[in-house]
C-alpha cells in the first residue's frame, strides 16, 4: 500500500508546482502583443535638456577656440620676430626664439589634442545620459500602458520627404503600417520636458 501512496503524493507535489507555471505560460501565449513606436531622432531634437547640454558644450568649445587662437597668435608673433634681419640665424636671440617657438608649438598641439578628446568624450556622455533617460521613461510608460514591445521608427515617413536620400531611408524603415495610438513619441517627449522644467534650470529651458 505504501508503494502506491508514495507515487501519488509525489505526483500531487509535482502538479502543484508545475500547474501555476503552466497557467502562466498559457497566459503569456494568449496575451496579445501591444507594440509601441518612438522616434528617437525627434526626441533628441526637441528634448530641452539635450539642447541645453549641447549649448553648454558649444560654449566650452568656443572658449577653447579662443584660447587656441591666443596660442596661435603667440606662435605667429615669434615667427615674425625670427624674420627680423637684424638678428642672424645663429645669434643668441634667434636661438632663444627658436626654443620658445618649439616649446609653444608643442604646447599648442597637445592642447588641441586634449581638448578634442575631452569634447568628444563629453559629447558622447551627453548622448548617453539623454538616451538612458529616454529608455527609462519608455520602460515606465510601456509597463503602465501594457506595451510588450517598443520599436524605433521615423515618424516623418516618406510622403513629406523630397531629398532622395531621405526617401530611400524612409522606404527602408521596418514599420510599414501603424495606428496613431502606437506612436508614443509625443507622450515621452512631453514627460521628459515636463520633468526637466521642474529642475533648477527651468527658467533657461523655457526661453
* CATH architecture classification, 28-205: 2-Layer Sandwich (3.30)
Biggest CA pair distance of the chain: 121
Q: Is the pLDDT of residue 17 over 90?
A: no
185 touches 43 (CB < 8 A)? yes
| Average pLDDT over every residue of 14-27 | 51
Q: Whole-angstrom Cα distance, residue 194 to residue 188?
A: 10
pLDDT tens string 106-129: 999 999 999 999 999 999 999 999
| Dihedral angle over CA of 55, 60, 66, 69, nearest 10 | -110
Q: What is the pTM of this model?
A: 0.72
Mean pLDDT score of the chain: 82
pLDDT tens string 131-165: 999 999 999 999 999 999 999 988 776 666 676 76
C-alpha cell at 45: 531634437
Query: Pairing relation of β-strands 149-152 and 35-38?
Result: parallel
* Per-residue pLDDT band at 75 (split at 50, 70, 90): very high
81 touches 97 (CB < 8 A)? yes
Amino acid at each position: 500500500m505504501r508503494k502506491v501512496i508514495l507515487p501519488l503524493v509525489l505526483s500531487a507535489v509535482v502538479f502543484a508546482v508545475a500547474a501555476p507555471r503552466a497557467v502562466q505560460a498559457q497566459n503569456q501565449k494568449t496575451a496579445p502583443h501591444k507594440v509601441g513606436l518612438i522616434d528617437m531622432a525627434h526626441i533628441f531634437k526637441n528634448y530641452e535638456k539635450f539642447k541645453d547640454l549641447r549649448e553648454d558644450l558649444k560654449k566650452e568649445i568656443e572658449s577653447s577656440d579662443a584660447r587656441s587662437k591666443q596660442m596661435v597668435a603667440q606662435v605667429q608673433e615669434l615667427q615674425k620676430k625670427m624674420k627680423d634681419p637684424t638678428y642672424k640665424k645663429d645669434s643668441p636671440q634667434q636661438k632663444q626664439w627658436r626654443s620658445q617657438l618649439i616649446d609653444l608649438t608643442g604646447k599648442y598641439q597637445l592642447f588641441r589634442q586634449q581638448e578634442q578628446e575631452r569634447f568628444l568624450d563629453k559629447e558622447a556622455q551627453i548622448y548617453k545620459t539623454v538616451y538612458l533617460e529616454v529608455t527609462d521613461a519608455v520602460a515606465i510608460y510601456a509597463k503602465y500602458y501594457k506595451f510588450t514591445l517598443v520599436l524605433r521608427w521615423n515618424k516623418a515617413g516618406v510622403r513629406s520627404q523630397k531629398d532622395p536620400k531621405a526617401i530611400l531611408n524612409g522606404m527602408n524603415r521596418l514599420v510599414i503600417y501603424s495606428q496613431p495610438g502606437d506612436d508614443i513619441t509625443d507622450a515621452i517627449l512631453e514627460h521628459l520636458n515636463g520633468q526637466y522644467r521642474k529642475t533648477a534650470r527651468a527658467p533657461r529651458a523655457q526661453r
